[in-house]
């Protein structure tokens, strides 16, 4: 199973493609899309959309795992994140890529065992789970890899619950339509 994890952002958008075979996780491709603060907003969003579309087209993941929008007190940072998230979701929708969404707390808990984990704990566990020795920079890349790991863990649970080898997209579609046959 192959997951594309995303940590959305306009200045930095982290991505990570992770493969799970049995209980083994393997990093396939990861990094961050950096946009220049001097670019027009639409140029930044176009760049993010194009790069994510290219990754989806090249690797053909089974699903996208993305962090849900988290609002803190600063609306000025929430709006650009929401815009970046929108173009990332569009890239997934253009290829009918299933989307799994998780809160930051769910992602942290999936990777570290606690939803209250600090950033350095998440990075440490991502490196350990994926066997990455070099420092993962920027943090957005580690967050995207963590989102992919969280999604893979959830997808495996969904497959076990349905006792099928069905692709995650088929399982999610069946859950949307309870009358469909599994």
Percent of the chain with pLDDT strictly greater than 90 = 75
User: Is residue 92 a part of any domain in this protein?
Assistant: yes
**pLDDT tens, position by position, 79-128:** 889 999 999 999 999 999 999 999 999 999 999 999 999 999 999 999 99
User: Is residue 182 a part of any domain in this protein?
Assistant: no
Confidence of residue 181 (pLDDT cuts 50, 70, 90): very low
143 noted as active-site residue:
no
**What's residue 174's pLDDT?**
66
Higher pLDDT, 74 or 89: 89
User: Is residue 9 a part of any domain in this protein?
Assistant: yes
Q: Determine if the peptide bond prior to 138 is cis (ω within 30°).
A: yes
User: Is residue 68 a part of any domain in this protein?
Assistant: yes
Instruction: Tell me the average pLDDT across 132-148.
Output: 97
Higher pLDDT, 72 or 23: 23
Q: Which of 19, 51, 140, 143 is catalytic?
A: 140
94 noted as active-site residue:
no
Q: What is the CATH number of the domain that holds 7?
A: 3.30.420.10
Number of domains within the chain: 1
Structural domain harbouring 124: 2-176
User: Is residue 59 a part of any domain in this protein?
Assistant: yes
pTM for the model: 0.90
User: Is residue 50 a part of any domain in this protein?
Assistant: yes
Confidence of residue 70 (pLDDT cuts 50, 70, 90): confident
Nearest residue to 68 via CA among 89, 39, 41, 38: 89
User: Is residue 181 a part of any domain in this protein?
Assistant: no
Instruction: Please state, in angstroms and rounded to a whole number, the distance separating the CA atoms of residues 22 and 13.
Output: 29
**What's residue 182's pLDDT?**
35
User: Is residue 43 a part of any domain in this protein?
Assistant: yes
Q: Which of 7, 19, 51, 62 is catalytic?
A: 7
Q: Which of 36, 67, 134, 173 is catalytic?
A: 67
23 noted as active-site residue:
no
Higher pLDDT, 161 or 139: 139
């Amino acid at each position: 199973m192959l997951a594309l994890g995303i940590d959305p952002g306009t200045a930095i958008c982290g991505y990570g493609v992770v493969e799970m075979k049995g209980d083994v996780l393997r990093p396939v491709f990861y990094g961050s899309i950096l946009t220049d603060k001097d670019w027009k907003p639409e140029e930044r969003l176009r760049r993010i959309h194009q790069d994510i579309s290219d990754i989806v087209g090249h690797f053909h993941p089974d699903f996208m795992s993305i962090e849900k929008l988290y609002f803190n007190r600063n609306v000025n940072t929430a709006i650009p994140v929401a815009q970046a998230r929108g173009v990332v979701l569009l890239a997934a929708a253009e290829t009918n890529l299933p989307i799994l969404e998780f809160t930051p707390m769910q992602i942290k808990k999936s990777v570290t065992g606690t939803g209250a984990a600090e950033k350095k704990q998440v990075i440490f566990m991502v490196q350990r789970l994926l066997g990455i020795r070099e420092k993962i920079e920027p943090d957005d890349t580690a967050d995207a890899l963590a989102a992919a790991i969280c999604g893979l863990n959830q997808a495996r649970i969904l497959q076990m619950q349905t006792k099928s080898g069905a692709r995650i997209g088929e399982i999610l579609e069946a859950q949307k339509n309870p009358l469909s046959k599994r």
